[in-house]
């Protein structure tokens, strides 16, 4: 695996607190949980290099599925 890129992330305090609780529930650090969530979102959108994903990266309303 390639090295990890470091960058500052500014995030709303309430959002961080929610992520902190969720990460704790999953026995992860906040940093690793954010990485997990981003990787999962990219995979589902079919945007993770080397993955086909399960979606097209478009929202349901953009697909014309609404009635």
Model confidence over 15-62: pLDDT tens digits?
Answer: 999 999 999 999 999 999 999 999 999 999 999 888 665 655 555 444
Domain boundaries, the chain: 12-48
Region 4-22: mean pLDDT is: 96
Secondary structure percentages of the chain, helix, strand, coil, to 5? 50, 0, 50
- 48's tokens: 């993770």
Query: For position 30, what pLDDT does the model report?
Result: 97
Please give the DSSP secondary-structure letter assigned to residue 2. P
């Amino acid at each position: 695996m390639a090295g990890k890129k470091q960058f500052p992330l500014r995030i709303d305090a309430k959002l961080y607190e929610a992520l902190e609780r969720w990460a704790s529930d999953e026995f992860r650090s906040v940093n690793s949980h954010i990485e997990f969530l981003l990787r999962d979102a990219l995979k589902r959108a079919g945007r993770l290099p080397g993955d086909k994903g399960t979606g097209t990266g478009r929202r349901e309303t953009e697909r014309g599925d609404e009635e």
